[in-house]
Chain A
């Protein structure tokens, strides 16, 4: 091989090695950081698509509507718990220690990110509420489809 070809070979192979290393590392890191989205019903009965139930200790995201009257606060600290429901029979309790977002309300769709604590409760480290009146995460909108009557009840309660 002449030096020029040798250099090209070296550059090309180092490019390929670098890229495959990057992709390998990326996929490895990805595997550990993908959080699946569940509705309350899916947490109890398994995902709609695959039927897979989450395992206790698994990181996940859950989205649903905050059940009216379910918000309970600890008088001494910022600990709070509330129940999430969906348009099926699901009901899951979420525990959170921290400040709830400005738009958190009973009867409103929210998303929480956290770890499955028991088969029907989640320890959340982040709670997100919708950003404005029109906007709702599509997953939550799906989970709440057909629940309009519940929403109006909550609005009447105000």
Chain B
């Protein structure tokens, strides 16, 4: 009975989202106040309905209701309760339900937290979100219903969740990533609403900025979590594979990063507006494209679920409709947008323009590398794959100007910068960053490569520039410590975002250049030594988990005769699916990770073992966390919080700024 109720509320949510799309638009067109005000109520009702559906599916997973086909295929009564819960989004149907649930979550957040916006604007935004929800509800209900029953012959137990996904990383990675993907729908809806209205002013940029930042923060954390999960769970110690599905999440991130920078310019200076709108449309379109690539099964990847052509076709149709429709609207309306502000070539506006160009170039590289194999195959030239070296080389080239301009960019003034004034700070930054690079490499690098020197220098260039800029700003009017306190949240957000990137660059540089990876054959009692670490293979024990059996290899690690860690690398066999899994043992540290993964047992009883030394790999995930923290600070900035000041005042002050700057 319960699943039928879940199905019913899902259909109810679908109908409500249709109304949420139609009524407010009708109201705005005709000036009917009741219809305009219905937007908020319909959004709330829609959220309640879909939340109910989602809760029922989660509950059915918890009580092991194997009469539901989706649960029978993706769960098992021997699984611990938290994995049964996360199995809700472990496969296609449930993850789509999560998608629509989060979309309605963002919608209700917009409905409740935009009290100071004009009600017509809110109605338009909610209507666009209603349209998107409606499309996805139809998709779920027509092609991927999670509530389909297996009756009358239901299985006694489920077929278990793919063991790769039975892991803490999967409990949080997909919801985070989806929050990011779906979150760009809000920026998209704001952009479409503004285009419909034909009014794109600084107030628009100001409203959509915190929303865009929130989505970006989620996406950043989601991608970092995915990378971390791949590192410890896939068992070969890589942190990014340029897998098409990773690319599918990286593309909206690149567009989103360009968008948050371009929004800043639009808000503060009133320029780049039509470009910003285009970016807002692309960020969400790329999220949709990513969904299409992952869900339709056209791609070969770790994430590919069993493919189904009708699903692919449906998303493709939706994709064409949304992207085509929004671009058409853009083509018609964007010419009405006038940017008033002026700026010289040497100005912060230009620096941010360069940032955007480089980010879009990176986006094109990823897009090309992801889609080319598809196109190549479809036009009958045979299957190809584009290897990691392509992406690595292109990003190595792109990151150099990106990091250099990023370092100096925040020193530039808006509108106009006298280049002569920059000579002194730039030479100071150059000297300090060279010195830091030399010191850092002297301490941590076992030998030198060109790329290591380059990467470390770029990282320190950014760090020194950021610190110097904070120093300059805080001593501008006050004494240093007092000025430091006076810096706004937005300023800290920018500095932290840039520092995060520097940390990532240094992490990647060190990991890629100085990792030691040994695949060795070890019998119990053997040991191997490198980098002052001595790995001793002590013993092999049997392993008994709730839904798996296996063996665990125990290693003692000594450094200079001192024991520093006991590492237990597991080899599991999940009994239901007869699927072997490698659980790596990791001794984590801020400057290095030690990583042991058991391979297969060889015919003579010895084991194939991977032993890795990965310097600074934690920095690759520390960086995104710093970035995300910066983003959160920016959302908490005072000017996005104050509730008293109403929207009209926003517009007036924005206009005033605009005229002053013109």
Question: Is B1 in the interface zone, CB < 8 Å from A?
Answer: no
Tell me the complex Cα distance, A99–B596, Å.
13
Instruction: Give the docked Cα–Cα distance between A102 and B601 (Å).
Output: 11
Minimum C-beta distance from A46 to chain B (A): 11
Q: Does A49 touch B at the CB level, under 8 Å?
A: yes
Q: How far is the CB of A80 from chain B (nearest CB, A)?
A: 9
A22 CB-CB contact with B under 8 Å: yes
Chain A, residue nearest B599 (CB): A99
Tell me the complex Cα distance, A39–B364, Å.
Answer: 31
Residues of A within 8 A of B342 (CB): 4
Q: For residue A88, give the distance in angstroms from its CB to the closest CB of chain B.
A: 16
Known: A26-B394, A131-B302. A33 touches B386 (CB 8 A): yes
User: Which of A10-18, A116-124, A144-152 forms contacts with chain B?
Assistant: A10-18
Q: Identify which of residues 13-58 in chain A touch chain B, using a CB-to-CB cut-off of 8 Å.
A: 15, 18-19, 22-23, 25-26, 29-30, 32-37, 47-50
- Asked if B372 and A30 make an inter-chain contact with CB atoms under 8 angstroms apart, the answer reads yes
Select from chain A the residue with minimum beta-carbon distance to B304: A135
The answer to whether A29 and B345 touch across the interface, beta carbons within 8 angstroms, is: no
Q: Which of A11, A47, A103 contacts B580 (CB 8 A)?
A: A103
Q: Which residue of A lies closest to B598 (CB)?
A: A99
Closest 7 CB pairs of A and B: A99-B599, A33-B390, A37-B383, A22-B361, A102-B580, A99-B608, A98-B519
Residue of B nearest to A71 (CB): B603
| Whole-angstrom distance between the Cβ of A133 and the nearest chain B Cβ | 7
Which of B369, B389, B521 contacts A77, CB < 8 Å?
Answer: B521
Question: A29-B394, A36-B382 in contact; A78/B361 too (CB < 8 A)?
Answer: no
**A102 to B608 Cα, complex, angstroms:** 11
User: Contact partner of B519 among A26, A29, A37, A99, CB < 8 A?
Assistant: A99
Q: Is the CB of A49 within 8 A of B580?
A: no
Q: How far is the CB of B563 from chain A (nearest CB, A)?
A: 26
In angstroms, Cα B581 to Cα A98, docked, is 17
Contact of A135 among B306, B381, B384, B600 (CB under 8 A): B306
Q: Contact: B600 with A29, CB < 8 Å?
A: no
Q: Verify A22–B365 contact, CB threshold 8 A.
A: yes
How far, in whole Å, are A22 and B401 apart by their CA atoms in the complex?
12
Does B300 contact A137, Cβ atoms closer than 8 Å?
yes
Q: Which chain B residues lie closer than 8 Å to A25 at the CB level?
A: 394, 397
Whether A37 touches B580, Cβ cut-off 8 Å, given contacts A4-B342, A30-B372, is no
Is the CB of B560 closer than 8 A to any CB of chain A? no
CA distance A7 to B456 in the complex (A): 35
- Which of these, A7, A49, A77, A135, contacts B345 with CB under 8 Å? A7
A78 touches B519 (CB 8 A): yes
10 A-B pairs (CB sep. < 8 Å): A19-B361, A30-B372, A30-B390, A32-B390, A33-B387, A78-B599, A100-B599, A102-B600, A131-B164, A133-B577
B162 contacts the other chain (Cβ, under 8 Å)? Answer: yes
A133 touches B382 (CB 8 A): no
A134 contacts the other chain (CB 8 A): yes
Q: How far is the CA of A47 from the CA of B380 in the complex (A)?
A: 12
A104 to B599, CA, bound (A): 11
Residues of B contacting A69 with CB < 8 Å?
A: none
